Structure 1
Amino acid sequence: MFRTPGISILAILCALVLSACGSSMQKTATEQVSEKTSSSRADIMQMDTQFLYLASQDALKEGDHQLAIELLSALVEKDATAITPRIQLAALLLQSGRQADAEQHVTDLLVEPALSAEQFEQLKLTQIKMLVAKNKMDLALTELDGFLKTRPAHLAAREIQARIFANQDRLDEALTAMDAAIAAEELPEFRLLQAQLLLKNNDLMAARVSLRRMLKLEPASDTAAIMLSGIALKENKADQAEDILRQFLANYPEAVRISHVLGQLLLEQNRIAEAILIYRDAEVASGGGNPDILRSLGMLYFRHQDFGKAEETFSKLVELVPTDQSRFYYATSLEALLKTQKAREIYAAIDINGPMGRDAQIRLAGIDFGDGKLNQAEARLLHIVKEQPENMEAFMMLTGIWLAQKQFKKVISKTLPLLANNKLHPQILFNRAVAYEHLKQYEGVEAMLTRVITKFPKHSEALNFLGYTYAIQGINLNKAESLIKRALQKKPGDGYYLDSLAWVYFRMGNYAKALETQKMALQSISDDAVMFEHYGDILWKNGEFDPARKAWQKAIDLDSENHNDLKNKIADGPGLNQ
């Protein structure tokens, strides 16, 4: 008969030491098995059951599950009454995917009279889980019925039963079973299961009652509070959802999950400053040692454009969790504060092959771009797109570099393969449109911007750009007016958009309205050469010749690219084509 080693292990080990040669005295039982047998089953079968058990436990500690299975299999073959090893063997076989072998051991063990009540429950539930895994749901439910007759408040069994019923959409039966469990013993876990089933049945009122009852039984249950707030949100009662979370936090300020949920709720309402306060309180409650809180707080500061606080928070995060991800967040806050050299050093130290490596290289390319190191920036980004041909962020920055280098044909050719990608970033399409515009290929401009607007109807830059493109050509002027007005709805009073609209009116021949609109544009932006050239053209058509010449001279002073044309206008007025 096998007995689980207790204090007698010392005597066994002493016997092993006395019978072994001196060179093996420091070796584990597993090492001795490996040396003596070379995995020979015949040799293993000659070993004592106690030794086999010790060796199997050593194998488990070392992560060698296959050897542990061999040793335990030999042990139970030598001693069929060895219950603890057999339970371990069944678990290992199941874990190794050998379900049939595991099932046989479980079935044999269940009729073993020496089983304790706890062991019987554990094995019975394992057997039921095996039935579920084999999709024998009816048989699993039958076994559960028999099991629950004598153990009606068994939590694990009730969970399995509820899941089976719920997955089969037998919610009434599942709820009846939960009522029986609660009648036997009202556990908070049962109330939670009941609430989940009621929510699946869309019975919000009854689910709320269950969750409130759960909070009576377990006042510190953040899960119940989160679910109650979720019910309030489903009922479009955001204020009530917020109150539930705030009240819970008042009693349990260290409840991190509640802080996260409340913070997210406030963010969805664009109440960033209040969300920051929630996370500040959570940081204090956690003693400043919770990485998730610090990370969320730092991101909120960044979103709120409080980059100084973001830097301070991410600096703490790096001290607490010195990972590449933490360093990346810290560097982004430094970059926002224009501390680019320090940010560069941190980005450069991030493992290029790690999960944040490409992001860091893209940020480094951005710094290079800002420093005028366009070739260096391009080299970094080309390395990324070579490994990730559809990295949108890298391509977006590459197109910006090529535009700055006036490589317009390159923008178009290099991004052509991306057009079939459904996840193509709109900025890449927009940059392609800019390239087409410089090449005076207006059909390409229209195609790219139409694609952006189709997917993003409120993309104000694309709306304005397409409207202005029509105005330049003197076509689709009514559509151009509509597009630019849609852009102005998104950004009221934008000077550039007003300039585009004024040029539409100019092309329509409505010179008075063009002049009124252009004056509004110049109130917003007073240092743009193109806008002053437009202003001069519009003034001229309104008969204001001297002010027109002054406007054209202002455009020259602002370093207009049309210097010679403007000189001619000042001397002789606009050409006949205007």
Structure 2
Amino acid sequence: AEALYGLGSALANDTASNLAELYLRLALYMRPDFDIAQSLLAGTYEQQERWADAVAAYAKVDEDSALYLNARIQTALALNELGKEEEAIAILQAVSKKAPGKLEPIVAMGDIYRAKENYTKAAQQYERAIALSGGPGPANWTLYYARGICLERLGQWDKAEADLLLALDLSNEHPLVLNYLGYSWVEQHRKLDEALDMIEKAVERRPNDGFIVDSLGWARYRLGEYDLAVKYLERAAELQPGDPTINEHLGDALWKVGRRIEARFQWSHALAMEPEERRVGILRTKLDLGLEAGEGVESELKGTLPDGAAGS
């Protein structure tokens, strides 16, 4: 069983191969209580987005196993992927009650709420996790980063900026933090030169991350460098073709350089990708009346948002 597990483990990261599953299932046939093999099998299902199979596999991890709590957390995350958010949260609450000193179930709840854009509840969970973590340290920079995102979305920019700056320091300038903070400054038309430097540094570290390349293109757009903006935004759209924000940004830049048929194509493309609800009217206005009219609608909407709330 251990030999078969070893083979399965070696192949587990190869998502194009079914051999890992085969070896792990054989290992479990020989030793049904082999919890580490059971957890790894569930993990391979997660990689393949076979969420129901992952839930079933994690359910076979014994309650007395050292891997049981992790199996319950992963079960909750898989259930969330299946659209069963309430069931997922209930499992995580039970895990947190059973192991009150553990950060993982609390952070997982925060991540679920944040993905559902329930930023108030997400921030509350990250606040709990920060309180349990024992204070700022390199190991928990992600907690401040995640809470900063929630606070920014809630319009509490001063608090969000403090969290993001702290996360930047604790993470030794992780590209995700460089990008988010730099992009936020660009959106607010603040510290544009510093924001551009930060985003360029993030791109150097993650040149194939479409969202980060998009931030660089959008920073160039905000600086009025439209030809450069088109260059980076076309690259971002190649890397992340299914994102509505990136396609909208590319449409805006194309409009500025006079490529208006292509701009309308990108806006139409963005509209078909289920953007945030408040972007729908802006995109339709751009399609019907052009960029300037869409920007007018956006300015009116921003006037109804809390100070510091994200504009894109």
TM over 0.5: same fold? yes
Q: Following the alignment from structure 1 to structure 2, what is the Cα–Cα distance between the partners of residues 475 and 356?
A: 47
Counterpart pick for 1:566 among 275, 280, 283:
283
Distance between the aligned counterparts of 2:49 and 2:264, measured in 1?
41
Matches of 1:557 and 1:363 in 2, distance apart?
32
Structure with more contact order per residue of length (Cα contacts < 8 Å, sep ≥ 6): 2
Contact 2:176 2:202 survives alignment (8 Å): yes
Partners of 1:536 and 1:478 lie apart in 2 by 24
Q: Which whole-Å deviations, capped at 9, do the CAs of 1:284-326 have from their partners, x for residues lacking one?
A: xxxxx6x3x5444432222444662322332343344433333
Q: CA deviation at 1:375?
A: 0.5
Partners of 1:484 and 1:500 within 8 A in 2: yes
CA distance in 2 between counterparts of 1:385 and 1:459 reads 29
Write the distance in 1 (CA, Å) between the matches of 2:263 and 2:51: 44
- The answer to whether the Cα contact below 8 Å between 1:468 and 1:500 also exists between their aligned partners in 2 is yes
SS of residue matched to 1:506: helix
User: Which residue pairs with 2:105 in the alignment?
Assistant: 394
Matched residues in 2 for 1:346 and 1:521: separation? 37
1:317 to 27, 31, 36: 27
Question: Which of 130, 133, 152 is 1:437 aligned to?
Answer: 152
Q: CA contact under 8 A between 1:458 and 1:490: conserved in structure 2?
A: no
- What is residue 303 of structure 2 aligned with on the other side? none
Query: 1:533·1:552 contact (CA, 8 Å) conserved in 2?
Result: yes
Name the SS of the counterpart of 2:178 in structure 1: helix
**Aligned partner of 1:502: which letter?**
G
Alpha-carbon distance in structure 1 between the residues aligned to 2:185 and 2:271? 26
CA RMSD of aligned residues (A): 2.8
- Residue number among 355, 375, 379 corresponding to 2:86 in the alignment: 375
Supply the distance in 2 between the matched residues of 1:555 and 1:328 (Cα, whole angstroms): 39
Q: Which moved more, 1:534-543 or 1:497-506?
A: 534-543
User: For 1:96-118, what per-residue CA distance to the aligned partner results, in whole angstroms no more than 9, with x for missing partners?
Assistant: xxxxxxxxxxxxxxxxxxxxxxx
Matches of 2:54 and 2:237, distance apart in 1: 38
**1:323–1:518 distance in 2 versus 1, CA, 3 Å:** closer
Q: Within 5 Å, which residues of 2 pair with 1:347-366?
A: 347-366=58-77
TM-score (norm 1): 0.45
Cα distance change of structure 1 residues 453 and 300 upon mapping to structure 2, 3 Å threshold: farther
Kindly tell me: are residues 515 and 317 of structure 1, through their superposed partners in 2, closer, same or farther at Cα, counting changes over 3 Å? same
Cα distance 1:563–1:340, how it changes in 2: closer, same or farther (>3 A)?
A: closer
Distance 1:494 1:337 in 2: 21
Distance 1:552 1:434, change over 3 A: same
- Report the Cα offset of residue 388 of structure 1: 2.4
1:445·1:466 contact (CA, 8 Å) conserved in 2? no
**Residue of structure 2 equivalent to 1:408:** 119
Alpha-carbon contact 1:536-1:549 (below 8 Å) kept: yes
**Amino acid across the alignment from 1:571:** L
CA contact (8 A) 2:161 2:181 kept: yes
Amino acid at match of 1:512: D
Query: CA 1:339–1:507 in structure 2 vs 1: closer, same or farther (change >3 Å)?
Result: closer
TM-superposed deviation, 1:340: 4.3
In the other structure, the counterpart of 1:278 is none
Give the superposition deviation at 1:380.
0.6
State how far apart, in whole Å, the 1-side matches of 2:49 and 2:258 are: 49
1:301 and 2:6 aligned: no
Matched, 1:524 2:242: no
1:230-265 per-residue CA deviation (whole Å, 9 max, x = no partner) reads xxxxxxxxxxxxxxxxxxxxxxxxxxxxxxxxxxxx
In structure 2, distance between residues paired with 1:471 and 1:325: 46
Question: Contact 2:138–2:170 (CA<8 Å) still a contact in 1?
Answer: no
- The equivalences for 1:4-43 within 5 A come to none
- Name the amino acid aligned to 1:449: L
> How many Å separate the matches in 2 of 1:432 and 1:512?
35
Is the 1:307–1:337 contact (alpha carbons within 8 Å) kept by the matching residues of 2? no
- Measure, in 1, the Cα distance between the counterparts of 2:145 and 2:209: 19
Gaps of 5+ in 1: 1-288
The reply on whether 1:418 has 2:129 as its aligned counterpart is yes
> What count of residue pairs does the alignment treat as equivalent?
288
8 Å Cα contact 2:51/2:81 also seen in 1: no
The percent identity for this pair of structures is: 25
Q: In the alignment, which of 172, 179, 182 is matched to residue 467 of structure 1?
A: 182
Residues 335 and 343 in structure 1, CA contact (< 8 A), matched pair in contact too: yes
The alpha-carbon deviation at position 408 of structure 1 amounts to: 0.8
Secondary structure (helix, strand or coil) at the match of 1:540 reads helix
Structure 2 CA distance for partners of 1:349 and 1:525, relative to 1, 3 Å: closer
C-alpha contact (below 8 Å) 2:207/2:213 kept by paired residues: no
CA distance in 1, matches of 2:26, 2:83: 32
Q: Which runs of 5+ in 2 are unaligned?
A: 300-312
Query: Which residue of structure 1 lines up, in the alignment, with residue 307 of structure 2?
Result: none
The answer on whether the counterparts of 2:175 and 2:201 sit within 8 Å (CA) in structure 1 is yes
The residue that corresponds to 1:234 in the other structure is: none
Q: Which amino acid aligns with 1:317?
A: A
Paired with 2:234 and 2:63, the residues of 1 have a C-alpha distance of 52
Identify the residue that residue 302 of structure 2 maps to in structure 1: none
